[in-house]
Amino acid sequence: MSEEINKITILSGTNKFGEKERFEKIDIKKGEVVAIVGHTGAGKSQLLYDLERLAQKDTKSKRKILVNNEIPDKELRFNPKRKLIASLAQSMNFFTDMSVGDFLQLHLESRGKKSRQGLIKEVIDEANKITGEAISPEMNLLNLSGGQSRALMVSDVANISVSPIILIDEIENAGIRKEEAIKILVEEGKIVLIVTHDPSLALNADKRIIIKDGGVVKILDTSLKEKGIAHYLNWIENYGLDIREKIRRGEGIKNVEIYCEPIKSKNKT
């Protein structure tokens, strides 16, 4: 990707009653992770859609999106070879009757990229980090489970649809290890927006945008304490996943083993 993205800006539009949103503009800088929260049907996915199509007051919300303080070129919206944005929607299944390996190859070609030795294997290996059931290149896409499909989509977004801006819609519904998935998707120097109902994901972001009735009502910066709480919540969830794994293996569960590790000093997110 030749385009260097330092910042995207959301200029306010209107909510579903036609009232002006309660902000002037939101700047999201390179390297930031932003959560979009709100009740079901509040308009969270609409904001992702506005970003994906780089809306110019031509969507329902009448929002305007700037890239590096400028109105982006129309070509950037649709041509996958120039697209700035990779998105992971809520879809859980593939529709194409094709092997995993061929599919990834085809996607590389449609993005106008040359494959290199071993890339396809890396994409599949990465997907296998976040799903319990291993995927192999010979498998047919149609036969993948929901978890396998999502894992492959995550790895595809991270490795083939490589873009400076990443939009993620409710990754927690996917039946995959979401923490691991986010780690794969959120690379340093990218702009990431996550629509989520998940408290630990929301509190892990740098900022959160609260949406109600189709409009942004509040923008909050995450406090250090909230990040700590996110870490704790995450630990509880992973503990739950470990228990699930034991149950699946047919083991009995005797005790609740509550202990929480301190926050490891991660490289900044």
Partner 1 sequence: MKFIIFAGTPGSGKTSIIKYIIQELKNDFKLFFAKFDCLQTSDDERIAKEYKIPTVKKLAGELCPDHYTALEIPKIIKENQDKDIVILETAGLCLRCSPYVKEGLGINILDITSGDPSRYGPILTEADIVAISKGDLISQAEREIFRAKVLKVNPKTKITEVNGLTGEGTIDITEFIKESPAIKNEKLTLKHSMPSALCGYCYGNKIIDEKEEHQRALAGQKLKNLVPGLNCGKCGFKSCNEFIRAVLDGRAKKEQCPFIKQ
Binding residues for partner 1 (CB under 8 A):
49, 53, 58-60, 78, 80, 86-91, 93-96, 103, 106-107, 109-111, 149, 153, 156-157, 160-161
Q: How far is the CB of 37 from partner 1 (least distance, A)?
A: 20
Q: How far is the CB of 249 from partner 1 (least distance, A)?
A: 31
Name the residue nearer to partner 1 (CB basis): 29 or 81.
81
Which residue bears the tokens 């595809």? 156
Name the residue nearer to partner 1 (CB basis): 93 or 143.
93
The number of CA neighbours under 13 Å toward the Cβ of 27 is 8
Name the residue nearer to partner 1 (CB basis): 80 or 240.
80
Nearest Cα to 74, choosing from 57, 60, 54? 54
Q: How far is the CB of 160 from partner 1 (least distance, A)?
A: 7
Name the residue nearer to partner 1 (CB basis): 6 or 79.
79
Q: How far is the CB of 156 from partner 1 (least distance, A)?
A: 5
Q: Say which residues have a Cβ less than 8 Å from residue 176's Cβ, sequence separation at least 6.
A: 130, 131, 147, 150, 151, 154
Long-range contacts of 115-123 (CB under 8 A, 24+ apart): 119/159, 122/159, 123/152, 123/155, 123/156, 123/159, 123/160
Q: How far is the CB of 157 from partner 1 (least distance, A)?
A: 7
DSSP 8-class letter at 231 = H
Element (H, E) at 234: helix 224-249
Q: Say which residues have a Cβ less than 8 Å from residue 256's Cβ, sequence separation at least 6.
A: none
Name the residue nearer to partner 1 (CB basis): 21 or 169.
169
The number of CA neighbours under 13 Å toward the Cβ of 47 is 35
Nearest Cα to 167, choosing from 33, 20, 24? 33
Name the residue nearer to partner 1 (CB basis): 46 or 234.
46
Q: How far is the CB of 211 from partner 1 (least distance, A)?
A: 15
